Structure 1
Amino acid sequence: MPIPLNEVVLGSLLASCILHGKLQLGKHLLQELIQIDPCNTDYHVLQSNMYTLAGRHDNADFLCQVLQKWGIKKVPGISSIHVNAQVHQFTLRDKSHPQTQEIYSMLDVMIQQLRFAGYVPNTASQAFSVSENQINDADEQEEKEHVLFSHSEKLAISFGLISTKPK
């Protein structure tokens, strides 16, 4: 490569490994990334997703346990939107905004339109740690989809749609 390997390049390669199912290469890249920034949980989340996609749920669970043991916590993603000279921020499943009810109503409309257009959420990489006896497959799938649909960026878009006029 004409540029030295750095955190951005290695992180991009790790994400590509997930996309193409290259678990061994991904593990190697993760080790290099951990040496650069041992507290960056984004890389651990990507590795956990790789394990889950490969059907290696035990490895994904073990990785989560190691992070807990080290005291490393995933920093929640935050999405921001600037509306009427004010910045509004959202996190996953955020219900702290004064217009939460309207935001989630718009989110429901967005989800219905996406499904009508043929969109099917990809829940394959989501780990879901609930005992098999406590939840059935249909409920688990629905919960995974709910988590995907309530990401911060979707909440910010929903807020933008209810707070701005079409041009």
Structure 2
Amino acid sequence: MLRRPLPFLLLAVGLSGCSGGGGVSTASILGGEAAPAPQPGQVSVVADPGERAFHAGAVTARAVRCGYNFDPAMVRSNYLAHEMALGAMPEQMGKLQQTYDVAHNGVAKAAGADANYCTDRRTRDIKTELGRLLEGNFEAPKKQVVKEEGLFSGWMDGGGGDTGPSFGSSDWWESQQDKVGG
């Protein structure tokens, strides 16, 4: 009874070393140190003052457009105080104020021109980002794309690369007609 599950257990343990997670790696076998690999779907935050200024200004403009009840001037002053606390120099503060204002005014103008701007999905995103700003988290989130590499990568997506027209498109139907000779 123990003999049947044993091969499956050994296979599972062996394949776990091929996964993107920690555990067995060439660095752990050879004694070197490896940098931690980003996990799929991981969100990394970029600490760039200009991006933070633009993000904060854009979010406040979007929130005002969609009718959220908050004080945009308070968010602006809190953001600028945050940058000062991080050590921004006076000349950099002027640029950050300008970036914030340009982002806020530009997004407000663009969003104001769109009568259908406040969709359900957009208002959910705005609510999340505005909440972060009101909590004092001014980092602009950046999604990091992680490409899976390994023994089984590409099996379900056709192996990557351009394999021709999309299934069901007019180009695809034309290629099928060409194959049949019609």
TM-score band, normalised by the shorter chain?
under 0.3
TM-score by length of 2: 0.23
Task: Select the structure with the greater relative contact order (CA < 8 A; seq sep ≥ 6).
Answer: 2
Higher radius of gyration, 1 or 2:
2
TM-score scaled by structure 1?
0.25
Higher percent of residues as helix:
1
